[in-house]
Structure 1
């Protein structure tokens, strides 16, 4: 079990590299990954089941102890990213399927890897976990509603069908995970450290499936989609940080909100796009999965090193004062 835990930690720390590697392999050898396509929803369900097994009452303490902070984070999540996506799609005159795919990414809750990035950035990890949990539980209602409101300009949207899909893919697996954790607490506690490995394998497989199934379209429109994804992600970080700063949250909270807003559950966007729109609409979600893990790691590394330098300077100042 310890070997599996070590492998899980290694996979989590090198997540971005694995996503990049298998996205590249899927472009070079698409035939080796297309078989995964029909199982995208199942893979995401397994990831959400794992998330359910890691949740506890403590993850929601911030809701009661700092409700304003959580509310700001959740509102920022469901306002900044969807409307930024809509603005980019409209301003850049994106093709309908790509526009819907970008909006879907924006309308999804925060990604689970945001919690790890917040921790590495020396942000408020407890706040990050709570915002992710709350936004994920609200997703069955808000993701279809926001998609209907913003994406129906380009393609017909069935909010009812999407609601059912999100319930099946997200809410039910999380509830099952919580039930399993309650019934088999000791066994779950022993195995929970291996769950990051499951999440890494699941997201990598989803990205590889979408990339392999859309090779020609990615080669044709990939640069445009990549540019939009990078801009969408960067604006999410910047506007999330700015919103938290304007609302007078402290620096660790600002970092948590920025990362929560910028990093999306793009696996869910990919699954919903595949099920309700078209393979091309799933491409923004797949590329976002690759990019936000790269950008999140870079941002977390920058903030983490900055925090270390500040701590070292503070220690030197304290020693001088003591002397």
Structure 2
């Protein structure tokens, strides 16, 4: 199979399948919670769509990342959400409804916000030789590959709920397997650059993971939200969509080096939330023990 077929067809189609599977797990009620609990949703969106890219920019500057790695980190910060955060919220016994709602709404908004963040990143970090980039073209591509499949998935969930409930888990497994395969393939293909910059990009990714989790918890506590919602925002703001980042770097920008950051992040993004999850689950157990 030629690289062009993989980049232009297989990779976007695979992400579309993943997003369709995500839509199978969503209902109209996941969007209506915006009006039921507006404070929690708006605080989470501010964290994901505004504060997270600013944090990523600060990390790029402090770590003095080379341009490809810096752009990759910014693309990562511009690709929030995904079903992984929902799974981790469920694992932590956090507010799963809030997590799903934030994932749903962020998926809608990021088709417009992500291209602008990428455009800024290319202008800021790549002085010469920047790849061709179209704001409109990227937005349209994200609408076709992410938004429409999600909407179709939601429609299937509403119309054929038994099918959606039965097969959603298989799409989730495919999502994880596909991400792992992409990460391994990129790490092998770009191994020379990775060897030279692994320590730098690894710690930058860990800083983004830990910093964004802490950011989510802090904005929740500052706005006087419950511990349950604070843990949810920590996970939701702290987990990025590595698969989408890889797609944008390879298929939209045609720069595999920009995907190195997302590949390394994909290896460490499950590590950073563990202390928060263990702390909250331990707190719940102590609360149950005290109440009994």
Quick check: TM above 0.5? yes
- In the TM superposition, 1:197-212 aligns within 5 A as 197-212=173-188
Deviation larger for 222-231 or 85-94 = 85-94
Selected match of 2:214 from 224, 238, 255 = 238
Q: Note if contact 1:80-1:261 (Cα within 8 Å) is conserved in structure 2.
A: no
Give 3-state SS (helix, strand or coil) of 1:293's partner. Answer: coil
Selected match of 1:56 from 5, 8, 27 = 27
CA distance in 1, matches of 2:177, 2:262: 17
Selected match of 1:141 from 98, 112, 117 = 112
Shift of 1:182: 4.0
Match for residue 92 of structure 1? 63
Selected match of 1:186 from 139, 162, 165 = 162
CA distance in 2, matches of 1:127, 1:149: 30
Q: Note if contact 2:27-2:157 (Cα within 8 Å) is conserved in structure 1.
A: no
Shift of 1:35: 11
Match for residue 77 of structure 1? 48
CA distance in 1, matches of 2:205, 2:56: 9
CA distance in 2, matches of 1:267, 1:274: 11
Aligned: 1:268 with 2:244: yes
Gaps of 5+ in 1: 1-33, 316-323
Match for residue 267 of structure 2? 290
Match for residue 142 of structure 2? 166
CA distance in 1, matches of 2:101, 2:163: 24
Shift of 1:61: 3.5
CA distance in 1, matches of 2:185, 2:191: 10
Selected match of 1:123 from 94, 97, 100 = 94
CA distance in 1, matches of 2:15, 2:275: 25
CA distance in 2, matches of 1:302, 1:151: 39
Closer, same or farther in 2 for the Cα pair 1:281/1:193, shift >3 Å? closer
Deviation larger for 144-153 or 214-223 = 144-153
TM-score between both structures, scaled by the size of structure 1: 0.81
TM-score between both structures, scaled by the size of structure 2: 0.89
Q: Note if contact 1:118-1:125 (Cα within 8 Å) is conserved in structure 2.
A: yes
Q: Note if contact 1:37-1:210 (Cα within 8 Å) is conserved in structure 2.
A: no
CA distance in 2, matches of 1:75, 1:153: 23
CA distance in 2, matches of 1:59, 1:183: 16
CA distance in 1, matches of 2:6, 2:62: 32
CA distance in 2, matches of 1:206, 1:37: 12
Q: Note if contact 1:43-1:206 (Cα within 8 Å) is conserved in structure 2.
A: no
Closer, same or farther in 2 for the Cα pair 1:251/1:143, shift >3 Å? same
Match for residue 154 of structure 1? 125
Closer, same or farther in 2 for the Cα pair 1:171/1:243, shift >3 Å? same
CA deviations 1:277-314 (Å, max 9, x no partner) are 51111011111122112323453233212321222123
Deviation larger for 263-272 or 86-95 = 86-95
Return structure 1 stretches of 4+ with deviation > 6 angstroms: none
Shift of 1:153: 0.7
Q: CA RMSD in A?
A: 2.1
Deviation larger for 62-71 or 163-172 = 163-172
Closer, same or farther in 2 for the Cα pair 1:36/1:234, shift >3 Å? farther
Shift of 1:179: 3.4
Gaps of 5+ in 2: none
Give 3-state SS (helix, strand or coil) of 1:295's partner. Answer: coil
